[in-house]
Structure 1
């Protein structure tokens, strides 16, 4: 029974969102596959996205870049964490090695902790990286990039380059320095687009336009007055605090978000891989609040702009509730042709090649 060991960075939801559809497709092809998921991601969220039967190790394989809400990284604090992780690398290495020795993987898949890749190379375990970014490029291109210690940079670069392949799902940062990089299509879970069914399930009127508002797993953004919303728009949010404060916001369960995204009239969000890829693969227009100094953002925004109607709204405008005009323009543009999520099968096939001998 082959053992796939997935190491995740618990920075928001996007890292699991990239891996889970691939694992689901792989388990349909290889029902004997045994899966371990390592990362301090919320267990309920992991269960909602991953196929049943996986083992969850709720322990970090790297450090997590701290955030002030969904838009702003605490760069200097983060740099100190990465520097401290490198200073204590031998202890982290020993702990990870003990996990691998206790239940040796047949394949390691990292999205995108670097230590498991480094250790897999030393233990002669096949390994893949799968992500639209890597922590070396994020830190090097961030406001603290000039202060990135050489030891941290060199360790990350060597580990990422040691993987058999670094799969870069579209849209990705270029990561052109990687000798093992392979571009693949977008990764998303395709769901049936059924706006009428969504309105019925939520008890909305037939002429109401449901607009999903969600900002991922790193906190909330709070809009001001929603008096300028276009008529007949109903915002959907899994945030109980927001729904309680605004009558134009309809509370939905977190488990309903994927289906709501597939069938809504538009999405209000931040630039992030999971939501942008899901939006493009369902043809849903996107109104986004830029993150500003997030190095991955230009690649996400440029890619999305050629796939679905999209527009930016500053954080100040969002906080003031000045959403109406741009949202109305996106609703008038309507949905685009859905994009095929070809990266799921492409990633699955690369993993299968490495598992073929197991």
Structure 2
């Protein structure tokens, strides 16, 4: 029996969504493959996304970037934390080597921890990475300067990523242009709506549903002053003012996040891989319209926004527009936009497992 270990960064939920979509395809087409998941994401989150059994190991040093909010990177503290990681690099690698020695995977698939990849390299375990970017690219954009320390961190990460056996980059991705990346279609699970069941949990007269999906990081909204629009009901992940009967808490509903995405008419999100690609897969139904927070500094943003603009009515919004009349104006602008022509969404997860070296040997 072949054994695959997935190392998943805990920087938001999007990387977990990508990895779980790959695991689900593997479980369908290679049911005898053993799956281990090594991550600081919660077991409950991983289990909510997977369709079969897996072994779970709450281990990992990959923090990605520290954040002030869902859209603002904490550059100073991120640079410091990477320097601290660099100084104890081998200690962190040894922690993961100890686990890998114990569980003995045939392949380590990282999304996208360089520590995990280095641990596998040192144990001569075959490696693959799967993500629309790597942390060296993000570090270069925010933290790399003329200082010798930051140059050393960047070079260390670069050397590990370059030693990886296979580098899969799902669309839309930040290109490396180094000749090594394997471009594949977007990776995500297919959202499936259960609208009739959802409507039984919402007030009578609900004709439109709005969903706030900002990637699992706290982002307080001024819900008290949101416009009241006849028939529109919002689903959010934070405390709701007692006066608002047109807003519900997501955690109080019996549906998964993917079901809510498939059921909504409007979504407020941010540039982020997981939700963008889930939206793209249901664009063919010409139902969902997207408001995305401005995030001009994030390296993925131009690639993500172009990808989604080609598929759904889409507007960018500043944080200050998410309240009162400003939000109402954005909604009206969004409603005036036509749905673009439907573009196909191929199955990148299936493309990956068809090309994963060693898998066919199982």
Same fold (TM over 0.5): yes
Q: State the partner residue of 2:82.
A: 82
Identify which of 315, 321, 336 aligns with 1:317: 321
Alpha-carbon RMSD across the aligned residues, in angstroms, is 2.3
Q: 1:319 to 1:329 in 2, by over 3 A?
A: closer
Q: 1:243 to 1:20 in 2, by over 3 A?
A: farther
Q: 1:41 to 1:52 in 2, by over 3 A?
A: same
Q: How far is the alpha carbon of 1:285 from its aligned partner?
A: 1.7
Structure 1 Cα separation of the partners of residues 126 and 46 of structure 2: 24
Structure 2 Cα separation of the partners of residues 42 and 32 of structure 1: 25
Structure 2 Cα separation of the partners of residues 193 and 15 of structure 1: 22
Q: In the alignment, is the contact (CA less than 8 A) between 2:199 and 2:206 conserved in 1?
A: no
Structure 2 Cα separation of the partners of residues 201 and 159 of structure 1: 51
Structure 1 Cα separation of the partners of residues 191 and 27 of structure 2: 19
Partner SS state of residue 141, structure 1? helix
Q: State the partner residue of 1:154.
A: 155
Q: In the alignment, is the contact (CA less than 8 A) between 1:40 and 1:60 conserved in 2?
A: yes
1:217 paired with 2:216, answer yes
Q: How far is the alpha carbon of 1:325 from its aligned partner?
A: 1.8
Q: In the alignment, is the contact (CA less than 8 A) between 1:4 and 1:105 conserved in 2?
A: yes
Q: 1:245 to 1:111 in 2, by over 3 A?
A: farther
Structure 2 Cα separation of the partners of residues 229 and 318 of structure 1: 13
Paired residues for 1:8-87 under 5 Å:
8-87=8-87
> TM-score when scaled to structure 2?
0.90
Question: Residues 116-139 of structure 1: CA distance to partner in whole angstroms, max 9, x if unpaired?
Answer: 222323322111100011111111
The unaligned stretches of length 5 or more in structure 1 are none
Q: In the alignment, is the contact (CA less than 8 A) between 1:230 and 1:328 conserved in 2?
A: no
Partner SS state of residue 104, structure 2? coil
Q: How far is the alpha carbon of 1:96 from its aligned partner?
A: 1.6
Question: Residues 15-65 of structure 1: CA distance to partner in whole angstroms, max 9, x if unpaired?
Answer: 111111111111111111111111111221111012332111111142342
Q: In the alignment, is the contact (CA less than 8 A) between 1:265 and 1:334 conserved in 2?
A: no
Q: State the partner residue of 1:248.
A: 246
Q: 1:258 to 1:245 in 2, by over 3 A?
A: farther
Structure 1 Cα separation of the partners of residues 344 and 205 of structure 2: 27
Structure 1 Cα separation of the partners of residues 54 and 325 of structure 2: 42
Matched positions, count: 353
Partner SS state of residue 240, structure 2? helix
Structure 2 Cα separation of the partners of residues 55 and 187 of structure 1: 22
Question: Residues 291-341 of structure 1: CA distance to partner in whole angstroms, max 9, x if unpaired?
Answer: 342222222112211121100110122255621122233245466647424
Q: 1:48 to 1:187 in 2, by over 3 A?
A: same
Q: Is the deviation greater in 303-312 or in 333-342? A: 333-342
The unaligned stretches of length 5 or more in structure 2 are none
Q: How far is the alpha carbon of 1:265 from its aligned partner?
A: 0.7
Q: In the alignment, is the contact (CA less than 8 A) between 1:243 and 1:250 conserved in 2?
A: no
> TM-score when scaled to structure 1?
0.91
1:343 paired with 2:348, answer yes
Structure 2 Cα separation of the partners of residues 245 and 220 of structure 1: 20
Q: 1:70 to 1:227 in 2, by over 3 A?
A: closer
Structure 1 Cα separation of the partners of residues 80 and 56 of structure 2: 28
